[in-house]
Amino acid sequence: MPATIVQTNTTPFAKIDIDPVTLDIIENALRNARIEMDATLVRTAMSPGIREQGDAFPLIADHTGKMIVGQFGSFIGGFLDGFDGTLEDGDMIFLSDPYSCDGAISHSNDWLILLPIFKDGRLIAYTAMFGHMSDIGGKVVGSMPINARSIFEEGVRIPPVKIWKKGEYNDDLMKLVMHQTRKPDWCQADLNALIASCRVAARRVVEMAERFGDDVYVSATQELLARNHRAMKALIGMAIAEEPVSFEDYICDDGMGYGPYKIKCTMWREGEKVVLDFSGTDPQSVASINFFLNENMFKMFFGIYMIMVFDPQILFNDGFYDLIDVRIPEGSLLKPKFPAALSGRTHALGRIFDILGGLLGQKTPEFLNAAGFSSSPHLFYSGNDKKGEWFQLFQIGFGGIPGRPLGDGPDGHSLWPGFTNVPNEFLERYFPLMIERYETEPDSGGAGLHRGGNGIRMTYRFLSPGTISIHDDRWFVPPWGVNGGEPGQRARKILEKADGSEIIVGNKVEDVEVAEGDQLHFITWGGGGWGDPLDRDPALVGKEITQGLVSAEGAKAYGVVANDNGVVDGAATEALRSSMKASRGALSLFNYGPGIDALRASCEAETGLAAPIQPVWQTAEAAE
């Protein structure tokens, strides 16, 4: 039963012809309102995850729930269809259960605020924002147990409820929710920040409607959607072929010893529509790496990638949604059945972008980027410090950005929008640890005419005993290179005990105990390379040796012979390059490395970790 929207004024909005100038002004004003939402959030949030790293996402939608500005597209339509209640002036919805909103948020750590905006008794718009809470209770610190077998192990799960009901705050509800988390102070501040941001946007929308008139405002939002529809239609016609193309990639493992998990997507055009079909994707995991992918969100990802790859001038909104048909098999890794665990969805979320890049670029290699989005490396460290006080750290790390048509991939930068690293001096001031090393990992970026960005080697020295958890991927299946570029190096985690002994740690582990003085080397993946590495200027390779970005040994991947001071031996380089050219086969569009079987065979020797075991499913429903 769909939501009942209670309006005291049921006069429909009149459709008004909007001149192009007014339209652009309203679009611009909406964009500014969105920027204001971000600014308000960063200033008032408290957890490092949101305030320093920016893990939160705003949107402003029209009166039917279609996103006009934002990043991840709108879930509101689907939410309203499933919400069995009323929505009226003074209400504000609060939720965190992915299964209650079609995966608009994809794990329970993301708390979402949805505010319907009423003006003079009529629903005129929606605004929403969600942000990642550092802890929502459950069995592990940080509330993302990699080994959870159902969502019930992943902390408090909030169905759509009214945090404000007709202007009245539901204090009891919030007491109940905050009682579940290990960090109620952070959660309360972050939630306040989400609410304040939505209220700012609501004020701006009402001001705009006052300035232009309600009918003009609403008509303008419809025209903005239509304009985007027209632009995307033209773009799709130009860039997407009717002949199907497929791309597949893997999540390395599920943290329980099984993997890799395949994600496959096939794309083709039928008339003006694009079909994106995930048939062939592996079934859901018994662990928490499942990613409940909202179809609309994927449409938005697709749209944004199309725009960024082919024509960055276009501003995106939900207008093009009916041009795209997303098909995700039920019970697959991307559409798991309740109550599958979801907290570890970040790897599949990242991998989706690699897949999109591979899909969109393969018919137009000049626009193709290598792989590197891949994941969002997490570290948790918690315990009691020497004064006996509880601490818990949740950090998001960064890998390398892939080689691009534009040039090299930046080293150790964020592929997620708006994210920044946390200053190490801040970490050392507020947590019992020292960061002994924070440098890029030489040679980790895939060789290419345009080098993939290096990953980061971050060395934590723990000053209090405690436990750590790690969530990372791309440790088994490397990020691929394109147009002749080599794959990037894989992620590694090494625990160096105070006595100097080293333990290779898995990339998805929970509750590893660390002692005072232990060091953790947290090494992330490099981006894949772009273009033929033998075409890269040897002098540049030599320079990067002096910069500590490439080693003399690593230079050989470019066919460059140089010493540790970056001095290139011209003759030897020429000889090496011609022999490499002669012995290698034709360059492939994609370079995935040696393939799953070979990776498995050499896994233990190369990574120090046992190869993941091929998962077996009782029902092969999602198989091809």
Partner 1 sequence: MGYRLGVDVGGTFTDLLLFNGDTGAFWRHKTPSTPHDSSEGILNGVNAICADARINANEIEFFLHGTTVATNAVLEGKGARVGLITTEGYRHIMQIARSFVPGGLAAWIIWPKPQPLAALEDTVTIKGRMNAAGEEVRPIDDEDIKGALTTLKAQGVEAITVSLINAYTNGAHEKRVGELARGIMQDVPISLSHEVLPEMQEYERTLTTVANAAVRPVVGKYVSNLREKLAIAGMAGKLSLLRSDGGLMSAQKAEEQPVNILMSGPAGGVTGALWVGKNAGIKNILTLDVGGTSTDVALIENLEPRRQRTTEVGHLSVRASALDVKTVGAGGGSIAYVPELTKALRVGPQSAGAVPGPVAYGKGGELPTVTDANVVLGYLPENLLGGSFKLDREGAKKAVQTIADALGIDLMAAARGIIDIVNENMFGALRMISVQQGYDPRHFALMGFGGAGPLHVNAVARLMGSWPAISPVSPGVLCALGDATTRMRTETARSYSKLASQTKADDLIALLDEMATQTRGELMADGVPEADIVSEFEVDVRYAGQAFEVPLTITPDVLRNDGIEGILKRFDEEHLRLFTFNMETPHEIVNLRAVALGKALDLPAIELPKGDGNPIAAKMRDHTLWMDGKEQPAVIYDRSKLRQGDVIPGPAIVVEMDSTTLIETGCVAKVDAVGNILISLA
Name which of residues 265 to 324 contact partner 1 (CB under 8 A). Answer: 301, 304-305, 308-309, 311-315
378 binds partner 1 (CB under 8 A): no
User: Distance between CA atoms of 304 and 287, rounded to whole angstroms?
Assistant: 30
Q: Measured on CA atoms in the order 37, 40, 44, 45, is the torsion positive or negative?
A: positive
Query: Given the rule CB under 8 A, which of 92-100, 115-123, 124-132, 438-446 is the region that contacts partner 1?
Result: 438-446
DSSP state, residue 320: G
Q: Which is nearer to partner 1, 287 or 550 (CB)?
A: 550
Size of the site for partner 1 (CB under 8 A): 88
User: Distance between CA atoms of 186 and 172, rounded to whole angstroms?
Assistant: 19
* Least gap, CB of 572 to partner 1 (angstroms): 22
Paired strand residues for 165: 168
**Pattern 498-537, binding to partner 1, x per CB under 8 A?**
----------------------------------------
Residues 532-591 binding partner 1 (CB under 8 A) are 543, 546-549
* Least gap, CB of 550 to partner 1 (angstroms): 11
Q: Which residues contact 42 (CB under 8 A, 6 or more apart)?
A: 50, 51, 54
Query: Given the rule CB under 8 A, which of 40-48, 139-147, 377-385, 477-485 is the region that contacts partner 1?
Result: 40-48
429 binds partner 1 (CB under 8 A): yes
* Least gap, CB of 373 to partner 1 (angstroms): 9
Residues 337-376 binding partner 1 (CB under 8 A) are 353, 369
401 binds partner 1 (CB under 8 A): yes
Query: Given the rule CB under 8 A, which of 18-26, 102-110, 124-132, 170-178 is the region that contacts partner 1?
Result: 18-26
* Least gap, CB of 197 to partner 1 (angstroms): 10
Q: Which is nearer to partner 1, 413 or 492 (CB)?
A: 413
The residue from 90, 407, 517, 595 that contacts partner 1 (CB under 8 A) is 407
| Beta-carbon-side half-sphere exposure of residue 334 (alpha carbons within 13 Å) | 27
Q: Give the full edge-to-edge strand order of the sheet including 456-462.
A: 433-440, 456-462, 519-523, 492-496, 502-504
Query: Given the rule CB under 8 A, which of 21-29, 250-258, 331-339, 501-509 is the region that contacts partner 1?
Result: 21-29
Collapsing DSSP to helix, strand or coil, 68 comes out as strand
* Least gap, CB of 323 to partner 1 (angstroms): 14
DSSP E strand boundaries for 180-272: 245-251, 261-270
* Least gap, CB of 498 to partner 1 (angstroms): 15
The residue from 257, 438, 494, 589 that contacts partner 1 (CB under 8 A) is 438
User: Distance between CA atoms of 490 and 441, rounded to whole angstroms?
Assistant: 11
DSSP E strand boundaries for 385-515: 390-396, 433-440, 456-462, 466-471, 481-482, 492-496, 502-504, 508-514
459 binds partner 1 (CB under 8 A): yes
The residue from 8, 9, 35, 606 that contacts partner 1 (CB under 8 A) is 35
Query: Given the rule CB under 8 A, which of 155-163, 249-257, 425-433, 602-610 is the region that contacts partner 1?
Result: 425-433
Q: Which is nearer to partner 1, 154 or 411 (CB)?
A: 411
The packing angle between helices 184-212 and 20-44, to 10°, is 160
* Least gap, CB of 138 to partner 1 (angstroms): 22
User: Distance between CA atoms of 181 and 99, rounded to whole angstroms?
Assistant: 20
Query: Given the rule CB under 8 A, which of 89-97, 242-250, 396-404, 509-517 is the region that contacts partner 1?
Result: 396-404
C-beta atoms surrounding 578 within 10 Å: 12
The residue from 74, 284, 374, 414 that contacts partner 1 (CB under 8 A) is 414
DSSP E strand boundaries for 411-533: 433-440, 456-462, 466-471, 481-482, 492-496, 502-504, 508-514, 519-523
428 binds partner 1 (CB under 8 A): yes
Residue 466 in contact with residue 418, Cβ under 8 Å? Answer: no
User: Distance between CA atoms of 496 and 523, rounded to whole angstroms?
Assistant: 13
Residues 167-186 binding partner 1 (CB under 8 A) are 185-186
The H or E element that residue 1 is part of is none
What tokens appear for 262 in the block? Answer: 């395949």
Q: Which residues contact 59 (CB under 8 A, 6 or more apart)?
A: 34, 67, 69, 70, 71, 72, 73, 74, 127, 128, 129
User: Distance between CA atoms of 131 and 50, rounded to whole angstroms?
Assistant: 7
Residues 44-63 binding partner 1 (CB under 8 A) are 44-47, 51-52
Query: Given the rule CB under 8 A, which of 146-154, 427-435, 569-577, 593-601 is the region that contacts partner 1?
Result: 427-435
Please return the burial class of 199, using the count of CB atoms within 10 Å of its CB with bins 0-12, 13-18 and 19+.
middle
The H or E element that residue 117 is part of is strand 110-119
215 binds partner 1 (CB under 8 A): no
* Least gap, CB of 159 to partner 1 (angstroms): 25
The H or E element that residue 356 is part of is helix 346-361
Specify the residue for token string 């390379």.
Answer: 529
* Least gap, CB of 97 to partner 1 (angstroms): 24
The residue from 8, 14, 43, 502 that contacts partner 1 (CB under 8 A) is 43
Length of the chain: 624
What tokens appear for 192 in the block? Answer: 């306040």
The residue from 91, 411, 472, 510 that contacts partner 1 (CB under 8 A) is 411
Query: Given the rule CB under 8 A, which of 4-12, 118-126, 404-412, 603-611 is the region that contacts partner 1?
Result: 404-412
496 binds partner 1 (CB under 8 A): no
The residue from 14, 176, 234, 572 that contacts partner 1 (CB under 8 A) is 234
What tokens appear for 207 in the block? Answer: 């001001």
